[in-house]
């Protein structure tokens, strides 16, 4: 078992009986590659090449987005359509395309992968996985059901976390597969304090806090709740060091090597 897997599972066991601040602060944060890696010269986001590059840059895990395509499969794709990821060449909606057609769309020499492919790839490289269920979809229930079907056979030796901004999606997934760890994403919107306080009621292992609202006070509150605290999207080395000093559990970053070096 890798260090990343041990750390992730230890955090899960600590939920509900919050570890001391001193014990949690002594561990360096896990690093999750945001959609793999992103930036100039990087592979297309949410592709196997991007996830492989994240691992090569020292990430402990990967973060990816999932939605249901036209034939019902879960695919790794952030946007509801293909316009941005194809540079405007293909504006079609993913929900309207069956997998056999979607898989042929060119993403700078790569393609949209199935979630099942990503999970198999990550297991091979011993990468932790954070799956974000997208809420800007025609049918949120379909995304939850498809995710539950795929992770029902989850092996607890592989670090896996399912997240969403939608508390109903998180609660629904928990009812279907209660053993699978879940995280509530918290945005800087006016509802952020409500979301922070809602995480325990949803049975969420973790809260994923946008970096602009990751204040010491909110981090302290989440620690008192016993939540695992992951912050997104952290690309500034000094900010990463400050968050690590506050004892956060994970950092989601576009640039794993830069942040790894900053925390070394």
DSSP codes joined into one string, 134-177: PSSSS-HHHHHHHHHHHHTT--TTS-EEEEES-HHHHHHHHHH-
222 to each of 16, 18, 195, 210, 237, how far by Cα in Å? Answer: 11, 10, 11, 14, 23
Rounded to the nearest 5 percent, the helix, strand and coil shares of the chain are 40, 20, 40
- Residue 115 pLDDT more than 80? yes
Rounded Cα–Cα distance for residues 231 and 219 (Å): 10
- Residue 154 pLDDT more than 90? no
Rounded Cα–Cα distance for residues 102 and 24 (Å): 43
Average model confidence (pLDDT) across the chain: 91
Band the pLDDT of 10: cuts 50, 70, 90.
Answer: low
- Residue 228 pLDDT more than 60? yes
Rounded Cα–Cα distance for residues 65 and 71 (Å): 18
Percent of the chain with pLDDT over 90: 86
Residue-level length of the chain: 264
pLDDT tens digits for range 174-196 = 999 999 999 999 999 988 999 99
Beta strand 74-76 with 30-34: parallel, antiparallel or unpaired?
unpaired
Per-residue pLDDT, 87: 94
Per-residue pLDDT, 49: 98
Task: Judge if pTM exceeds 0.95.
Answer: no
Q: Cα torsion for 213, 215, 219, 225, to the nearest 10°?
A: -70
Lowest mean pLDDT among 2-16, 32-46, 193-207: 2-16
Coil vs helix vs strand at 59: coil
pLDDT tens digits for range 69-97 = 999 999 999 999 999 999 999 999 999 99
């Amino acid at each position: 078992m890798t260090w990343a897997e041990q750390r992730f599972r230890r955090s899960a066991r600590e939920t509900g009986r919050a570890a001391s601040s001193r014990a949690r602060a002594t561990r360096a944060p896990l690093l999750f590659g945001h959609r793999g890696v992103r930036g100039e010269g990087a592979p297309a986001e949410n592709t196997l090449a991007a996830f492989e590059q994240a691992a090569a840059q020292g990430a402990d895990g990967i973060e990816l987005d999932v939605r249901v395509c036209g034939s019902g499969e879960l695919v790794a794709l952030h946007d509801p359509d293909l316009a941005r990821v194809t540079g405007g060449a293909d504006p079609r909606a993913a929900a309207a395309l069956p997998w056999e057609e979607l898989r042929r769309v060119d993403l700078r020499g790569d393609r949209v992968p199935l979630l099942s492919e990503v999970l198999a790839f990550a297991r091979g490289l011993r990468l932790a996985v954070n799956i974000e269920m997208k809420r800007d979809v025609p049918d949120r229930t379909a995304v939850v059901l498809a995710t539950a079907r795929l992770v029902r056979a989850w092996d607890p030796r592989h670090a896996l976390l399912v997240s969403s901004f939608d508390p109903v999606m998180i609660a629904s997934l928990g009812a279907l597969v209660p053993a699978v760890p879940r995280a509530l994403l918290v945005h800087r919107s006016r509802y952020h304090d409500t979301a922070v306080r809602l995480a325990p009621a949803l049975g969420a292992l973790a809260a994923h806090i946008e970096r602009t609202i990751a204040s010491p006070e909110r981090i302290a509150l989440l620690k008192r709740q016993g939540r695992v605290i992951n912050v997104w999207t952290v690309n500034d080395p000094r900010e990463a060091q400050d968050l690590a000093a506050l004892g956060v559990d994970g950092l989601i970053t576009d640039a794993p090597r830069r942040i790894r070096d900053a925390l070394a």
